[in-house]
Structure formats: structure tokens, C-alpha cells
Amino acid sequence: MRMCEIFTHWDSCGRCTSFTRENHQNWRRASRITGQTCLPWAGAAAKISSVNTDWNRLRGLAQTEISATLNGLPEPLREQARKLPVTFDRRPNAGLQADGIEVDTLGLFTGAEFADSHGEVLPSQIILFLGNLWDYAAWDEEVYCGEVRTTFLHELGHFFGLGEDDLAERGLE
């Protein structure tokens, strides 16, 4: 099994984005436009010291589940999926809600689908709303990890061009 090195970026609002080594270089190119920084996961401890322990636990469980899910994908899909950044937030922010995203949304895919993504300035991404996923799982870690996996695969399906009906047929509702 291939280990998945994770890089983490913290923006000025305290949101966390995690990257695999494969998509980290793409993000760094895009971040030159915004001036944001990215820390290797192992060196991020000082930056996250003020973050709630529950948040750290939820994020860690989600990162572990996403890494395992990526490792279980067939190679052609895995290669492309590893390039897609995954962002963690507690809930959709006011801007997303103003754009019509419901406050209890579990995950969101933003950007161009894989087939249309050539030449994009900023990469597409998946946003997982860990607070909502935790609430949906009724505060059960096992259920939470299953929901993280399902939601990640659902949003990844959108990246690969699948619609809601296609995802429902695959049990990824």
C-alpha cells in the first residue's frame, strides 16, 4: 500500500485545506497569485495550537479516511483524484450560503470537472463540512468516517462528471 503524504494549508479565516504530494505542486503554483502559504503536515503543529481539539480529531479522522479511500481507488482514477485538493470547513460560510448552499450541506465540489479542467488558473476542489458530517453521524466516529468516505466519493464523482442520478445509482447519495 502506498503511503499518502499530506500537506496542510491554513488560510486567514482558519480553514484547512489538505493536499497530497501530487496536487501540492499545483496548489503552490496557484497560491503564488494569492500569497497563501502551505505547511508540511508534520510541521503544522505550531500553527494549529489554538484550534479546538475536537476539530483536530474530526480533521484527523477525515484525512485518514480520505487517504484510505484514495488508496482503494483503481489506479487511473486514483492518479487524477490525488491531484484534487480537499478542503475542510465546519459548515458552509455566509458566502456559500448566499450562493444557495444549504447550511447543513455535507460536502461540495467546486470548479471544473476533470474533462474540462485543462488550462484552469486555480484548481478545482472538494470541500467537506466536518461539523455537519459529525452532526449527521450523530456524534459516532464509525458512522462519521463512513459518511466522510461516502461524501468524498460523491463529490469526487462530480469531479469525474457524474450527475446526482449517476451517484444515486452507485449508492453515493
The per-residue pLDDT for range 12-64, each reduced to its tens digit, is 444 455 555 455 445 444 444 434 444 333 334 333 333 455 899 999 999 99
Residue 44, all three cell numbers? 503544522
Work out the angle between the directed axes of helices 53-72 and 141-159 (0-180°, nearest 10).
Answer: 50
Query: What was the pLDDT predicted at 152?
Result: 97
Note the Cα 125 to chain centre separation in Å.
7
Q: How far apart are CA 37 and CA 19, in angstroms?
A: 13
Domain ranges of the chain: 6-169
The CATH class given to the 6-169 domain equals alpha beta
- Residues in a beta bridge with 128: 88, 107
Measured from the Cβ of residue 67, the count of other Cβ atoms closer than 10 Å reads 19
Q: How far apart are CA 16 and CA 11, in angstroms?
A: 7
Is 1's pLDDT higher than 80?
no
Q: What percent of the chain has pLDDT over 70?
A: 64
Give pTM, 2 decimals: 0.69
Phi–psi pair at 156, nearest 5 degrees: -65, -35
Query: What was the pLDDT predicted at 53?
Result: 54
